[in-house]
């Protein structure tokens, strides 16, 4: 391996700071933890982590090179991803008046695949990962290096989303959600919708 432990630690620190910023995944998984509890929302959180880590893998495999050579591919992904986020936002907004779901029952869209799809709908992390990888690992990584980098990214994403679900499913934030479900769901839907529109409109 050509990468060092110091480089990996810097990568972990940079990624940790970046994923703390609220995005559609953070908003959606928090709402799921409020409504369904830890055990029901964890698969969704793991899907979000998987989806985010896939962008790291794509960056390692050179997807951002394709974006630079064929800029329309990035625009197309942004528009499609933004449209998906707007659709998720519309569902949140429309179902805000609905009663709370039964935590013991399945909840469509809150599984592993739903979480992965949500984070894959935003291609911006591919550019973030590309920039971070180039700055922290300037030497051309070997196949073993790329595997170590990907495993590190996936572990950080998994730890973050699992911890977020565990925190948001605690009794006191869930009680607050129960008391203000309509407005929390509408606010979450509006936030995700605006993020989706920003993807579509900012080329």
pLDDT in tens, 49-59: 999 999 999 88
Residue 101 confidence (pLDDT) above 80: no
Any domain includes 87: yes
Q: Once rounded to an integer, what is the mean pLDDT over residues 98-125?
A: 72
Any domain includes 18: no
Any domain includes 75: yes
Kindly tell me the sign of the dihedral angle through the C-alpha atoms of 10, 12, 15, 17.
Answer: negative
For residues 110 and 133, give the distance between their C-alpha atoms in angstroms, rounded to a whole number.
Answer: 31
> Residue 139 belongs to what domain range?
24-101+108-201
Any domain includes 147: yes
* The total number of structural domains that make up the chain: 1
Q: Which pTM value belongs to this model?
A: 0.75
DSSP state of 130: H
Any domain includes 192: yes
Residue 143 confidence (pLDDT) above 70: yes
Any domain includes 1: no
**Of 70, 72, 74, 64, whose CA–CA distance to 126 is shortest?**
64
pLDDT of res. 140: 67
Any domain includes 33: yes
**What is the pLDDT confidence band of residue 104, given thresholds at 50, 70 and 90?**
very low
Any domain includes 9: no
């Amino acid at each position: 391996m050509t990468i060092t432990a110091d480089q990996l630690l810097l990568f972990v620190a940079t990624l940790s700071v970046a994923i703390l910023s609220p995005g559609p995944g953070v908003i959606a998984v928090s709402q799921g933890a409020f409504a369904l509890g830890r055990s029901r929302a964890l698969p969704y959180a793991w899907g979000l982590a998987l989806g985010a880590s896939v962008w790291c893998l794509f960056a390692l495999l050179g997807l951002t090179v394709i974006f630079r050579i064929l800029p329309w591919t990035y625009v197309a992904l942004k528009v499609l991803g933004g449209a998906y986020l707007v659709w998720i936002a519309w569902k949140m907004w429309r179902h805000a008046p609905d009663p709370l779901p039964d935590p013991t029952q399945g909840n469509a869209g809150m599984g592993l695949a739903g979480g992965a799809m949500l984070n894959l709908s935003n291609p911006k992390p591919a550019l973030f990962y590309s920039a971070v990888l180039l700055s922290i690992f300037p030497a051309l990584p070997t196949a073993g290096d790329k595997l170590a980098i990907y495993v590190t990214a996936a572990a950080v994403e998994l730890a973050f989303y699992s911890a977020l679900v565990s925190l948001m499913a605690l009794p006191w934030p869930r009680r607050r959600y129960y008391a203000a479900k309509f407005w929390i769901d509408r606010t979450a839907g509006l936030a995700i919708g605006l993020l989706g529109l920003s993807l579509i409109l900012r080329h």
